[in-house]
Chains A and B, each alone.
Chain A
Amino acid sequence: MNNKRSQIVSFSIIIILYAVLEILLKTGNLSSLFSSLLIPVCCYMAAAIGLNLNVGISGELNLGQAGFMSIGAFTGICVSGMLSGVISNGVIRLVTAMIVGMILAGVFGILIGIPTLKLSGDYLAIVTLAFGEIIKSLVTNLYLGMDSRGLHFSFVQNKVSLEPGGKMLLNGAMGATGTERIASFTAGVILVLICLAFVYNLMDSGSGRAIMAARDNRIAASSIGIDVTRTKMLAFVVSAGMAGAAGALYGLSFSTLEPRKFDFNLSIMILVYVVLGGLGNMTGTLIATMLLVTLPQMLRGLSDFRMLIYAIVLIAMMLITNNEKVKIFIEKMRLRRKEKGAGNGEN
């Protein structure tokens, strides 16, 4: 019951916000700063929803979400670049790029998940961290060019030489440049809605309950016949796929993207959105993402002190949300509201 209500709340937040922002945007009343934040926020939301499924619902600490975003982003950019001569419609290309990015990130999720999901806790965390770093390192060494003769690929050493008119899709450390910006805010919102709907449906399904049971007690869950590794894998791969789609959208919203963008710090930032929003709480994740992406922009007036204050706010938020007194206060408020609601119902 409560669950249903929170689902409705999160869907309505997104839809209402979208309507308001879209109207402002179309009428030219949205500041340039805010319009530059729209698509990235959607990408981070989608990646964070996926990570929350992985960390909050499946209970596995994943420090490599940025790695999956990276796979999705660079795949998406390549797909869009390759199709640019074939399909002129940006929307179709964007959707194709996002789907391919999602699938490839999901495949990597399976490849990484098979050996590693046997590990647990902090050991799994370090393995995902290591994979994130490896992916960054590999992408930094990839060279992919396209010209009239077809695709040219090289690794570590850039041996790609193109005919005039050719285009480097991936250029090692420089990543992708000259990307056509086909991403749109609407596509971002649709992505977030799909991710939300998927996660909520999963949570209500038998697989979802199996995931949660495996989180709460691995041994007990397997003793009642739940294949723990398989359920964990499901959450891990779905999470990777969402990050992949988000990454593709992200990559196609900027004219340039460097592999170093998707580093350990980005994985941690997405984790911060999840933890601050509340483990397993999707509405919380959405709100935390919006707040934390916007906060450093709002602090621009502080100039040099901006990131310092951001760090302090981060620490203070963790201390306050975990403070006993605050917890008791919130609990009291909740009880009072419940009592009131019950009273109203009777009258």
Chain B
Amino acid sequence: MKKKIMTKVIAAAMTGAMALSLAACGGASSGSSASQGGAAGSASGAAIKIGGSGPLTGAAAIYGTAVKNAAEMAVEEINAKGGTQYELNFQDDAHDAEQATNAYGVLKDWGMQVSLATVTSAPMAAVAPMYKDDHIFGLTPSASSLAAIYEDPDNETNPYGDLFQVCFTDPNQGKASADYFKSHPDLGTKIFVIYNNEDNYSTGVYKKFIDQAKANGLDVVGEATFMNSTVDFSVQVGAAKDSGADLVFLPIYYTPASQIFIAADSMGYKPSWFGIDGMDGILTVEGFDTKLAEGVYLLTPFSADATDDLTKKFVENYKAKYGEIPNQFAADSYDAVYAIAKAVDAAGVTADMSASDICDKMVSQFTSMSFDGLTGKSVTWSASGEVSKTPAAVVIENGTYVGVEN
């Protein structure tokens, strides 16, 4: 009897120990900096506190991790230059509205002065009114829905005013794509759309695209949807093939896109593929045969293969630090931190100011300044928080992005 109980106690202890050892390996191999989740950067008292939240656990963790990594890197670089010092606190929200409000609470308790807001759209919509109530400046790298910056997203009115975006809004991308198709009939004239109807980003782009396509007189021959749980894409690709479409628009992230390319390849279906910024990353998926993405067009403000010095340096440093190629989210995040730093310097913001005072100064800077970053040159912001920059079309040739003349 006694022996049996001992076994049970040992069993319980072993479960814990096993898990902990697993966890320990994970920490060592993931190679991220020692300041996980906590405060990164300068330890001195006179640092401006930058907050932010995003999914670091769960199915969307890839996006949050990219933003956190790049933001950490940017803060370290800026701090190393001397001048105004920053401290970053990036919290996990698991791509969930409720947890985002908890994360916001943690950041507020910590004394956040400016913020990267959230990484994904739904959590952003949940915390946006809180940023407004507390009058804290937020610059989201990647939350692209209209609800991120407008109190009334249906009519695009009542902007929160203290929230800005580094990324394009979803409708903006849908419109840009439809306009591109109109001016480039050589890509294809019978258009098919495959999108994720459970995803904010994907449906947001899709809706505006359809409206604009109608206005532009484009021939949309059909559409198919999938869900987060979809594993088999043969139905969607089959429908596109059956409709006789020669141009397939994919306003989706690169992970499902890679599956769609594989499914299309096995069916011998070869239309023109057209993606948006979510497609960036397709070439860096471990194990993906990049030949399948050959000839894919993307309308994206950032490509990791660009040859300008800024991008090259960023990609090199990011790879050295985190062992992977940065994606769109990382680039947006890096730009966000640098844009904040630029505005802080220009407005003469110091670490002893209140978040509310800083917010006023930042808003006036952002609505008047022009910023050069990874994701665009002479980037400006409107008073409602929307970014204005030019997306460039690139095409994948021989496994790298090649610019297309507009």
- Nearest-CB residue, chain B, relative to A147: B154
Q: Which of B9-17, B289-297, B322-330 interfaces with chain A?
A: B9-17
With contact pairs A34-B105, A300-B92 given, residues A168 and B198 touching in the complex (Cβ less than 8 Å):
no
Q: Which of B145-153, B177-185, B240-248 contacts A (4 or more CB under 8 A)?
A: B145-153
Within 8 A of B (CB), among A130-177: 140-141, 145, 158, 162, 164-168, 172-175, 177
Interface core residue of B108, B125, B129 (most chain A CB under 10 Å): B125
Q: A31-B105, A33-B102 are in contact. List 18 more A-B contacts (CB 8 A).
A: A32-B106, A35-B105, A36-B101, A37-B102, A174-B122, A175-B122, A177-B153, A178-B152, A256-B147, A258-B97, A260-B198, A300-B37, A300-B92, A304-B32, A307-B58, A316-B15, A320-B12, A324-B4
Q: Is B126 touching A303 in the complex (CB atoms < 8 A)?
A: no
A255 touches B129 (CB 8 A): yes
Inter-subunit contact B101/A323 (CB<8 Å):
no
Q: A172-B197, A254-B97, A311-B19 are in contact. Are A32 and B91 (CB under 8 A)?
A: no
Q: Which residues of A contact B108 (CB under 8 A)?
A: 32
Known A-B contacts A172-B203, A174-B204; A304 and B56 likewise in contact (beta carbons under 8 Å): yes
Instruction: Return chain A residues, CB-CB under 8 Å to B102.
Output: 33, 36-37, 297
Q: A33-B105, A33-B109 are in contact. Are A312 and B16 (CB under 8 A)?
A: yes
Q: Which chain A residues (223-273) contact chain B, with CB distance < 8 Å?
A: 254-258, 260-261
**Least Cβ–Cβ distance between B144 and chain A, in angstroms:** 12
Say yes or no: A256-B125 contact (C-beta < 8 A), given A33-B102, A316-B16. Answer: yes
From A255, A260, A315, B15 is in contact (CB under 8 Å) with: A315
- Cβ contact within 8 Å between A319 and B12: yes
Shortest beta-carbon contacts, A-B, top 8: A303-B37, A33-B105, A32-B105, A256-B125, A303-B36, A36-B105, A32-B108, A177-B147
In the bound assembly, the distance between CA atoms of A261 and B58 in angstroms comes to 13
Judged by a CB distance under 8 angstroms, whether B96 is at the interface is: yes
Question: Which of B9, B102, B147, B203 counts the most chain A CB atoms within 10 A?
Answer: B102
- Which chain B residue shows the least CB distance to A157? B223
Tell me whether B8 and A323 are in contact (CB under 8 A). Answer: yes
In the assembled complex, B305 has its CB within 8 A of some CB on chain A:
no
Report the minimal beta-carbon distance from B142 to chain A, rounded to whole angstroms: 16
- A26 contacts B by Cβ under 8 Å: no
- In this complex, the member of B128, B151, B153 whose beta carbon has the largest number of chain A beta carbons within 10 angstroms is B153
Tell me, rounded to whole Å, the shortest Cβ–Cβ distance linking A171 to chain B. Answer: 8
Interface size class of B (residues with CB under 8 A): 35 or more
Residues of B within 8 A of A315 (CB): 15-16
Residues in chain B near residue A284, CB distance under 8 A: none
Output the residue of A32, A177, A301, A303 with the most chain B CB within 10 A.
Answer: A177
User: How many angstroms between the C-alpha atoms of A324 and B6 in the bound complex?
Assistant: 11
Shortest CB-to-CB span from A207 to chain B, Å, is 35
Determine the residue in chain B with the shortest Cβ distance to A136.
Answer: B198
In the complex, chain B residues whose CB is within 8 Å of the CB of A280: none
Question: In this assembly, does A218 line the interface, its C-beta being within 8 Å of a C-beta of chain B?
Answer: no
Any chain A CB within 8 A of the CB of B228? yes
How far is the CB of A304 from the nearest CB of chain B, in Å? Answer: 5
A190 to B373, CA, bound (A): 52
From the candidates B16, B37, B96, name the one contacting A261 in the complex (CB within 8 A): B96
Interfacial chain B residues near A33, Cβ < 8 Å: 102, 105-106, 109
With beta carbons under 8 angstroms apart, the residue of A164, A254, A320 that contacts B155 is: A164
- Give chain A's interface secondary structure class: helix
Cβ contacts under 8 Å, B145 to chain A: 174, 177
Nearest neighbor of B18 in chain A, beta-carbon distance: A312
Which residues of chain A are near B204, meaning CB under 8 Å?
174
Interface string of A281-316 (1 = CB under 8 A from B): 000000000000000010011111111110110011
Say if the beta carbon of B352 comes within 8 Å of chain A.
no
Which residues of chain B from 216 to 253 have any CB-CB distance to chain A below 8 Å in the complex? 227-228
Enumerate chain B residues within 8 angstroms of A177, measured Cβ to Cβ.
125, 145, 147, 153
CB distance from A323 to the nearest CB of B (A): 6
Decide yes or no: A32 and B104 within 8 Å by CB, A308-B19, A311-B19 being known contacts. Answer: yes
> Interface residues of A, CB < 8 Å — how many?
52
B321 at the interface (CB under 8 A from A): no
Contacts of B129 in A (CB 8 A): 181, 255
A138 to B233, CA, bound (A): 21
| B interface residues (Cβ-Cβ under 8 A, vs A) | 4-5, 8-9, 11-12, 15-16, 19-20, 23, 26-27, 30, 32, 36-38, 56-58, 91-92, 94, 96-98, 101-102, 104-106, 108-109, 122, 125-126, 128-129, 145, 147, 151-155, 196-200, 203-204, 207, 227-228
Q: Is the CB of B154 within 8 A of A304?
A: no
- Please list the residues of chain A having a beta carbon within 8 angstroms of any beta carbon in chain B: 31-37, 40, 140-141, 145, 158, 162, 164-168, 172-175, 177-178, 181, 254-258, 260-261, 297, 300-309, 311-312, 315-316, 319-320, 323-325
Give Cα A229–Cα B20 distance, bound, in whole angstroms: 47
CB distance from B198 to the nearest CB of A (A): 5
B405 to chain A, nearest CB (A): 35
Chain A contacts for B23, CB-based, 8 A: 305, 308-309
Please name the residue on chain B nearest to A304 by beta carbon.
B36
Whether the Cβ atoms of A167 and B152 lie closer than 8 Å is yes
Q: In the assembled complex, which residues on chain A have CB atoms less than 8 Å from the CB atom of B26?
A: 304
The reply to whether A254 and B126 contact each other, CB–CB distance below 8 Å, is: yes
Q: Which residue of A lies closest to B2 (CB)?
A: A325
Cα of A269 to Cα of B157 in the assembled complex, Å: 38
- A307→B23 CA distance, assembly (Å): 11
CB distance from B93 to the nearest CB of A (A): 11
Which A residues touch B227, using CB under 8 A?
Answer: 140
> Closest residue of chain A to B24, judged by CB?
A305
Interface centre among B23, B101, B152, B199 (most CB of A within 10 A): B101
Query: Quick one: closest A residue to B134, CB to CB?
Result: A32
A255 engages B126 (CB within 8 Å): yes
Q: Report A155 CB to chain B, min CB distance, Å.
A: 12
CB distance from A213 to the nearest CB of B (A): 34
The answer to whether B8 touches A324, judged by C-beta atoms less than 8 angstroms apart, is yes
B101: which A residues are within 8 A, CB to CB?
Answer: 36, 254
Task: Check B12 against A323 for contact (C-beta < 8 Å).
Answer: yes
When C-beta atoms are compared, the residue in chain B nearest to A36 turns out to be: B105
Taking CB atoms, residues of chain A closer than 8 Å to B91 are: 300
Could you tell me if B56 and A256 are in contact, using CB atoms closer than 8 angstroms? no
CA distance A225 to B123 in the complex (A): 52
